[in-house]
Amino acid sequence: MKIAIITSGFLPVLDGVTVSSWARLKKLSQWGYQVLLFCPDYSSLATLYPNWKEYTDTILPGVRVVNLPSTPFMDLDFERNVAFWSYPQLRKELKQFQPDIIHVDEPERLFFGFFRIPGVDYAKQAGIPCVSFFRTNFLDYAEDYFPFPPQIIAVIQWIFKQIFVWIYNAYDVTLVSSHVTYPKLIEMGIKNTHYENLLGFDASQFHPNLRQTNFFQHHYQQPEIDQKVKMIFVGRLTPDKGWDFTLKLLPDLAKAINLDNIAWIIAGDGPMRDEIQQRFQQFTPHVYLLGRVTPENIPALLANCDIHVTTSEKETRGLTVLEAFAAGIPVLAPAAGGVMENIQPEWNGLLYQPQNSSDFIQQLKQLIEHPSLRQNMGKNGRKEIKQFSWDHTVQNLVNLWKRQIEGQKNKR
C-alpha cells in the first residue's frame, strides 16, 4: 500500500500531532509500506530547530518527507503552515507517487495555508479515497487568541464552524480518536465522523523504574528539586493550554498550600514563557522552566516527578495523560475535553471543575498531602495503557485505510 500523508506539522516541532506522526511513520516503515509525507518547511526556524534537516527527504526505509514552502502560523515564532503557492508542488509529487490513499491531518489548518481543501481534488481525479483526521479543537481557541468581546468571539466561531464543517464533509471519512470529541463533531454537522482508537504512545519507554535518587541534581543541576513534591506540566506555553487559569489561581494557591515544599517543573516553550516565569516567581522561587524537552527524555522526567498537572480544557485527547500513567504518576486535570477521557477520579487521578480555583486547590491538596494516594493512583494508571500501544493503534489505522481502498474499488 502506498500512502500519502498531508500534515499540518512535523518534527522537529514538538507537540502531540508531530510526536504521534513520527511514531506512526516508524511503524509503517517497519511494516513495509511506502509513505510520502507533506509538511511545512522549517528551514527558516533553523535557530530554534537546528536539527530540522534530520526530518526531511528519506528519513526511514520507504518513508520520504517533502517540506512545502511555508509561512508563519498565528504569529507563533516556533510554528509554520504551508503556503498557498506550494499546492502545485504537492499535486506534482502526488502524481509522481500515485498513492492508493490520501490521509490529511488537521485539514482546516492546512486549508488556511493552501486556500483549498487539501488532497480532495487529486483523490477524486485519481479515483482513490481521501480521509481526514480531526486533531485539534481550533474553534475553541478563538477566545485565547482574539482579544474581542464575547459577542464578537461567538460570531467568529460561528463563521469558522461553517467553514470547518464544509471542509471535513468533503472527505470520505473524518477520523477522531476521542469518545469525548466524537459527539461534538456530530453535533457540529460533520456527517462523516468515525471514531477509532488511533492515538497511542510507546509504553515500553515509560516505567516507574526510571525514578532515580537525586535525579534533578544529576540531570539538571538543581539538587533542591529532589527534596520537594514535584509538579510537572508538559506542553506548549501558549494561551490555549490553560495557562491564564493557572496563573490566576496562584494567589489563592499560595494562601492554601505551603509552596516552599513544592517544585513546579514546566517542560515546554512558547510565547508565554516569560509571563509564566515572572508570575510564578511572585509566589515561589521553586519554579523551573526546562524549555523544550526531547521525546526521549520525557519518560525519565515524568517518572521522577510526583504529579502531572494540566489545566488545558481544549484537548481532543491528551497524550501526556497516558504518558504520566505509564510513568506511574497520577494526573490532575479539568473535567473538560479529551484530557478527562482516561482519568477515573480517585482511581488514577483527580478531576476539578473547569475554571474553579477552589476545587483545583482542594484536589491538589489531596495529592500533595497523601503520598500513598499518589502511589496507588500511579500503580492504577499503569493498568490503563495496554490498549494504546502503537502496534495496536497504527494497525487500526491501516485496517481503516484498507477498508476505504476496498470500498472505493467496489464503487467503480
C-alpha cell at 199: 492515538
Residues 94 and 222 placed together within one structural domain of the fold: no
Lowest mean pLDDT among 5-19, 25-39, 51-65, 268-282: 5-19
pLDDT at 199: 81
Looking at residue 143, its pLDDT comes to 73
Q: pLDDT at position 63, please?
A: 98
96-135 tens-digit pLDDT: 999 999 999 999 999 999 999 999 999 999 999 999 999 8
Residue closest to 159 by CA, chosen among 106, 110, 104, 112: 112
Give pTM, 2 decimals.
Answer: 0.82
Is residue 195 within 8 Å of 182, Cβ to Cβ? Answer: yes
Q: Are both 105 and 27 inside the same structural domain?
A: yes
Nearest to 64 by CA among 10, 110, 118, 8: 10
DSSP 318: -
**Are residues 35 and 141 located together in one domain of the fold?**
yes
pLDDT of residue 409: 80
My answer on whether 212 and 361 are in the same domain is yes
Domain that holds residue 340: 203-386
pLDDT at 295: 85
Task: Say yes or no: 192 and 258 in one domain.
Answer: no
Split into its structural domains, the chain has a count of 2
Q: Please give the share of the chain, as a percent, with pLDDT higher than 70.
A: 98
Position 317 confidence tier, pLDDT thresholds 50, 70, 90: confident
Judge if 378 and 403 occupy the same domain. Answer: no
Confidence tier at 204 by pLDDT (50, 70, 90): confident
Same domain, 226 and 180: no
Residues 368-378 have pLDDT tens digits of 999 999 999 99
pLDDT tens per residue, range 231-285: 999 998 988 899 999 999 999 999 999 999 999 999 999 899 999 999 999 999 9
256 and 190 in a single domain? The answer is: no
Segment (H or E) for 394: helix 390-411
Residue 124 sits in the same domain as residue 157: yes
- Do 313 and 179 lie in one domain? The reply is no
Task: Check whether 411 has a pLDDT greater than 80.
Answer: no
Mean residue pLDDT of the chain comes to: 93
- Section 316-330 average pLDDT: 90
Q: What is the pLDDT of residues 82-100, one digit of tens each?
A: 999 999 999 999 999 999 9
Query: By the 8 A CB rule, do 367 and 307 touch?
Result: yes
Nearest to 20 by CA among 133, 99, 124, 131: 133
Q: What is the mean pLDDT of residues 170-182?
A: 94
Residues 317 and 274 in one domain: yes
Query: What is the chain's length?
Result: 412
% of the chain residues with pLDDT over 90:
76
Backbone angles phi, psi at 185, to 5 degrees: -70, -40
CATH number at residue 306: 3.40.50.2000
Does pLDDT of 194 surpass 90? yes
Same domain, 184 and 287: no
